[in-house]
């Protein structure tokens, strides 16, 4: 009997849901481990409090002396909550979060000690970060990296550690993390959007990008997960025959949540409440053992931090419940994978959602301005947006007939389509008073009613308008949202800057009224953005053909998709907006290509090992059983044995054929890797891994999965799909 697998299964049989107490209302504990506004008022001097609020709201610098006051208040608060350590918490380009804990404790001589946390420690640290990916930045400049406090994301206590969200940059200023370019992109979109808002409302001083992510994940029993080397090392199953029952009955989606999973969710949600992550929604997803969780949306930088923190908390809470969380985009073949929808909008400090239709024609013209500019931004930068969500694991999802395809398109619904069609016919040049009245009454003025009825949702679209926000659905479940959010906000910023320049030009040079100029520019944008609008089925073959005709990109794999990040256009876009210089863009490209290679390389090794060391020996063992059986039959029946041993002998041959195919393919795989590894150019190397190495995975898997169906279940060493997916 295959011990590990059956041992693991046995362990799961005794699992009970943990008892979770929720004694207090969630609203009462919300944010109690966060150094938020209320806590700051209590623990900081007036000057210190004002200084932090100023930094948050207006981006002003915090004076060194004041930083000392802030750190003291923070320390007092943290210690009162049981914290013993502090850490700068940051998001290096590994995708995970990083932290290095230091104790508050410090000796002061004479055998005495105190708890200390000065402004210096709050504001800046220099982690020994030489092992984080840097794409050659630090080598080139021989510079060290440092972390610097981001006051716009509040400090929080996790466990017994005070965590201070920080950026991570090289001494020469280049960003080494996800947060820095995101903050710069958010600043860019703020500036650009405020300038455009001034056409409609002079009082607007700040525009915030908002993000509401929806996180999909699988929950697998920890013992079962640990019994699979592929899950442990790659986060996904690299082989395994599909179970007799998968998701075809649709009986999991929105079904009642299994009790162990529910206990996990309640425990997790309590942790989220303490950390100020406003989680609100939980439900079963389409695949068995797949779930989703979503918060109330927040300012984008904070929401990104919350999502990164959440993934970490999810792992930790899962330990208590004997679960392993799979964030991989495609942990199981044959059932749905996981994504992370990024709901995005822009809102003003005057409380207006710029992608929400308003009550007056004027506010609706503002809505249309931001709506159409976003569409134009996506139209002009679809390839870059695709690149923003590229990863080895997300490749399994995009284009795999379950998730949005690798083609970026925008869905807006039939009613808004007809609004755009009307606007497309606006007169060129100055509008007559009659036309303007007509537009205001019958087109622009009608939008709120229109949207209320606009309930058709196209689930196959990667970028859909959903009434008061856009939903970017192609983001991977494992991804750091910052990647998608940096690009989206950057391209919209750039677009708004161009828009403002064009409108101003018409006002100044063509003597147009503001409204006329806005209508004129929007009309041209609608014409130019037609290609990106698609209302049909994004999964269908017809769309692939149509998209090709329209000239939209269809970069199916990561190495192909990532190139858009270092196109001339992308580099100057980021440079012009002050988001990333050329070195930073190129470094990121290199890091991501390198990561792609490493992921495929690891997968190749794992698959080769499992195939040769687990599957083949098992098949041989079973084949020997059959051989013994045939020999025995021969002994009993003599020459007539074949009549009784026929099926066994067929099986023996089939097994041999599969073993042979596995072995030859593993050898082929190893050789393909060797060849790829000799290539020094990272682009060529990644392409080689993509097109020469990775396809062999499928051949190996095919034969292993066939053997799974032939070999005695008692001997099979790998926990099967039905066990992984249906153990609750």
Stretch that binds ligand ADP, among 8-16, 305-313, 467-475, 695-703 (CB under 6 A): 467-475
Residue closer to ligand ADP, measured from CB, 227 or 347: 347
What is the C-alpha to C-alpha distance for residues 119 and 235, in angstroms, rounded to an integer? 40
Query: Which of Mg ion, ligand ADP, none does 87 bind, CB closer than 5 to 8 A by kind?
Result: none
105-124 binders of ligand ADP (CB under 6 A):
none
Of the candidate spans 81-89, 409-417, 465-473, 474-482, the one that interacts with ligand ADP by CB under 6 A turns out to be 465-473
Q: Which residue shows structure tokens 């406003």?
A: 278
Nearer to ligand ADP among residue 74 and residue 388 (C-beta): 388
Rounded least distance, CB 509 to Mg ion, Å: 44
Shortest reach from residue 298's CB to ligand ADP, in Å:
8
Instruction: Choose the binding region for ligand ADP from 72-80, 464-472, 600-608, 695-703 (rule: CB under 6 A).
Output: 464-472
Alpha helices in 63-107 (DSSP H): 64-80
Task: Report d(CA 274, CA 332) in Å as an integer.
Answer: 33
Q: Does 270 bind ligand ADP (CB under 6 A)?
A: no
Of Mg ion, ligand ADP, none, which one does residue 117 interact with (CB within 5 to 8 Å by kind)?
none
Q: Among the candidate windows 67-75, 116-124, 337-345, 658-666, which touches Mg ion by CB under 5 A?
A: 337-345
**Euclidean distance between CA atoms 264 and 319, whole angstroms:** 10
Residue 31 CB, nearest approach to ligand ADP (Å): 17
Instruction: Indicate whether 489 belongs to the interface with ligand ADP (CB under 6 A).
Output: no
Tell me which stretch binds ligand ADP (CB under 6 A): 208-216, 430-438, 589-597, 599-607. Answer: 208-216
Q: Rule CB under 6 A: is residue 366 a binding residue for ligand ADP?
A: no
Q: Among 138, 330, 340, 341, which residue interacts with Mg ion (rule: CB under 5 A)?
A: 341
353 sits near ligand ADP (criterion: CB under 6 A): yes
| Whole-number Å distance between alpha carbons of 225 and 232 | 7
d(CA 681, CA 674): 15
**Residue 409 lies near ligand ADP (rule: CB under 6 A):** no
Closer residue to ligand ADP, CB minimum distance, 211 or 687: 211
CA–centroid distance for 125 within its chain:
28
Question: What's 504-526 look like in SS3?
Answer: HHHHHHCCCCHHHHHHHHHHHHH
Distances in Å between the Cα of 273 and the Cα atoms of 156, 238, 263, 270 are 12, 36, 15, 5
Name the binder of 348 from ligand ADP, Mg ion, none, CB < 5-8 A by kind. none
> Is the CB of residue 266 less than 8 Å from the CB of residue 22?
yes
Q: What are phi and psi of 569, to 5 degrees?
A: -60, -45
Counting contacts by CB under 6 A, is residue 415 touching ligand ADP? no
Q: Which is nearer to ligand ADP, 292 or 592 (CB)?
A: 292
Scanning 63-71, 462-470, 642-650, 684-692 for contacts with ligand ADP by CB under 6 A, the matching segment is 462-470
Applying CB under 5 A, the site for Mg ion has a residue count of 1
Of the listed pieces 209-217, 322-330, 367-375, 700-708, which binds ligand ADP according to CB under 6 A? 209-217
> Whats the size of the chain, residue-wise?
728
How, if at all, do strands 112-115 and 105-109 pair? antiparallel
Integer Cα distance of 622 and 616 in angstroms: 10
User: Cβ(289)–Cβ(723) under 8 Å?
Assistant: no
State in angstroms the smallest separation of the CB of 260 from ligand ADP.
Answer: 24
Sign of the C-alpha dihedral computed for residues 710, 712, 717 and 721 taken in this order? positive
Q: Which is nearer to ligand ADP, 36 or 468 (CB)?
A: 468
Least distance CB 352 / ligand ADP (angstroms):
11
For ligand ADP, which is the closer residue by CB, 135 or 295? 295
Q: How far apart are CA 196 and CA 509, in angstroms?
A: 18
CA angle (529 as vertex; 527, 533 as ends), nearest 5: 115
Q: How many helices (H) and strands (E) does the chain have?
A: 28, 17
88 binds Mg ion (CB under 5 A): no
If binding is defined by CB under 6 A, does position 466 make contact with ligand ADP?
yes
Q: Interface with ligand ADP includes 336 (CB under 6 A)?
A: no
Closest distance between ligand ADP and the C-beta of residue 284, in Å?
13
Q: Shortest Cβ distance from residue 403 to Mg ion (Å)?
A: 13
Binding flag, residue 469, Mg ion (CB under 5 A): no
What does the radius of gyration of the chain's CA atoms come to, in whole angstroms? 29
- Any idea of the CA torsion for 602, 603, 609, 610, to the nearest 10 degrees? 150
Q: How many Å apart are CA 117 and CA 115, to the nearest integer? A: 7
Q: How far is the CB of 568 from ligand ADP (least distance, A)?
A: 32
434-439, long-range: CB < 8 A, 24+ apart: 436/515, 436/516, 439/519
Name residues contacting ligand ADP, limited to 281-320 (CB under 6 A). 294-297
Q: Which two tokens stand for residue 621?
A: 């063992």
> Of all residues in this chain, which one has the CB nearest to ligand ADP in the complex?
212
Q: Supply the DSSP string of 215-278, one letter for each residue.
A: EEEEEEEHHHHHT-HHHHHHSS-S--PPPS-SSTT--STT-PPPHHHHHHHHHHHHHHHHTT--
Residue placing its CB nearer to Mg ion in the complex, 134 or 458 = 458
- Which residues form the interface with ligand ADP (CB under 6 A)? 210-212, 214, 294-297, 343-345, 353, 466, 468-469, 471
- Which residues form the interface with Mg ion (CB under 5 A)? 341
């Amino acid at each position: 009997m295959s011990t590990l697998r059956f041992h693991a299964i046995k362990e799961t049989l005794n699992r009970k849901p943990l008892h979770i107490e929720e004694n207090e209302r969630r609203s009462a504990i919300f944010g109690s481990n966060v150094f938020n506004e209320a806590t700051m008022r209590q623990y900081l001097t007036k000057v210190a409090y004002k200084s932090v609020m100023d930094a948050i709201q207006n981006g002003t610098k915090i004076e060194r002396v004041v930083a000392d006051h802030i750190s003291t208040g923070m320390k007092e608060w943290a210690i009162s909550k049981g914290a013993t350590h502090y850490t700068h918490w940051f998001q290096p380009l590994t995708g995970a979060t990083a932290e290095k804990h230091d104790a508050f404790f410090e000796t002061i001589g004479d055998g005495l000690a105190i708890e200390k946390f000065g402004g210096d420690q709050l504001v800046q640290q220099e982690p020994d970060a030489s092992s984080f990916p840097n794409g050659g930045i630090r080598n080139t400049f021989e510079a060290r990296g440092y972390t610097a406090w981001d006051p716009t994301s509040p400090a929080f206590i996790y466990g017994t550690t005070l965590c201070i969200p920080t950026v991570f940059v090289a001494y020469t200023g280049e960003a080494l993390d996800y947060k820095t370019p995101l903050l710069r992109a958010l600043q860019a979109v703020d500036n650009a959007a405020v300038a455009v808002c001034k056409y409609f409302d002079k009082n607007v001083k700040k525009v915030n990008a908002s993000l509401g992510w929806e996180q999909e994940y699988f929950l697998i029993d920890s013992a079962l997960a640990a019994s699979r080397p592929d899950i442990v090392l790659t986060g996904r199953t690299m082989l395994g025959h599909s179970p007799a029952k998968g998701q075809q009955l649709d009986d999991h989606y929105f079904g009642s949540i299994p009790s162990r999973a529910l206990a996990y969710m309640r425990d997790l949600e309590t942790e989220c409440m303490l950390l100020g992550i406003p989680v609100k929604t939980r439900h079963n997803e389409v695949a068995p053992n797949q779930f989703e969780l979503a918060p109330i949306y927040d300012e984008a930088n904070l929401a990104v931090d919350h999502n990164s923190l959440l993934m970490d908390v999810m792992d930790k809470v899962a330990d208590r419940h004997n679960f392993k969380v799979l964030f991989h985009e495609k942990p199981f073949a044959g059932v749905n994978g996981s994504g992370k929808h990024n709901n995005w909008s822009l809102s003003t400090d005057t409380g207006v959602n710029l992608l929400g239709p308003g009550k007056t024609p004027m506010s609706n013209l503002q809505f249309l301005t931001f709506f159409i500019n976003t569409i134009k931004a996506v139209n002009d930068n679809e390839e870059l947006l695709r690149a923003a969500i590229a990863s080895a694991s997300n490749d399994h999802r995009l284009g795999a007939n379950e998730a949005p395809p690798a083609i970026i398109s925008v869905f807006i619904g039939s009613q808004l389509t007809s609004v755009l069609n009307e606007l497309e016919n606006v007169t060129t040049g100055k509008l007559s008073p009659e036309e303007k009245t007509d537009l205001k009454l019958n087109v622009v003025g009608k939008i709120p009613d229109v949207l209320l009825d606009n309930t058709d949702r196209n689930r196959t679209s990667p970028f859909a308008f959903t009434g008061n926000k856009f939903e970017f659905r192609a983001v991977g479940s494992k991804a750091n949202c910052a990647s998608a959010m940096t690009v989206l906000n950057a391209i919209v910023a750039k677009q708004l800057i161009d828009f403002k320049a064009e409108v101003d030009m018409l006002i100044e040079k063509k003597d147009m009224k503001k409204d006329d100029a806005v209508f004129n520019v929007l009309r041209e944008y609608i014409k130019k953005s037609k290609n990106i609008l698609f209302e049909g089925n994004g999964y269908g073959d017809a769309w692939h053909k149509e998209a090709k005709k329209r000239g939209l990109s269809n970069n199916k794999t990561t190495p192909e998709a990532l190139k858009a990040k270092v196109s001339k256009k992308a580099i100057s876009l980021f440079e012009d907006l002050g988001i990333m210089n050329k070195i930073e863009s190129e470094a990121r490209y290199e890091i991501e290509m390198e990561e792609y290679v490493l992921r495929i390389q690891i997968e190749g090794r794992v698959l080769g090992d499992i195939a040769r060391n687990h599957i083949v020996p098992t098949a041989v063992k079973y084949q020997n059983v059959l051989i013994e059986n045939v020999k025995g039959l021969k002994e009993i029946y003599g020459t007539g044995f074949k009549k009784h041993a026929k099926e066994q002998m067929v099986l023996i041959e089939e097994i041999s054929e599969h073993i042979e195919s596995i072995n030859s393919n593993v050898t082929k795989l190893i050789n393909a890797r060797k060849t790829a590894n000799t290539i020094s150019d990272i682009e060529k190397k990644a392409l080689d891994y993509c097109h020469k190495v990775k396809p062999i995975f499928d051949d190996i898997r095919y034969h292993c999965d066939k053997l799974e169906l032939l070999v005695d279940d008692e001997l099979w060493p790998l926990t099967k799909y039905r066990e992984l997916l249906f153990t609750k």
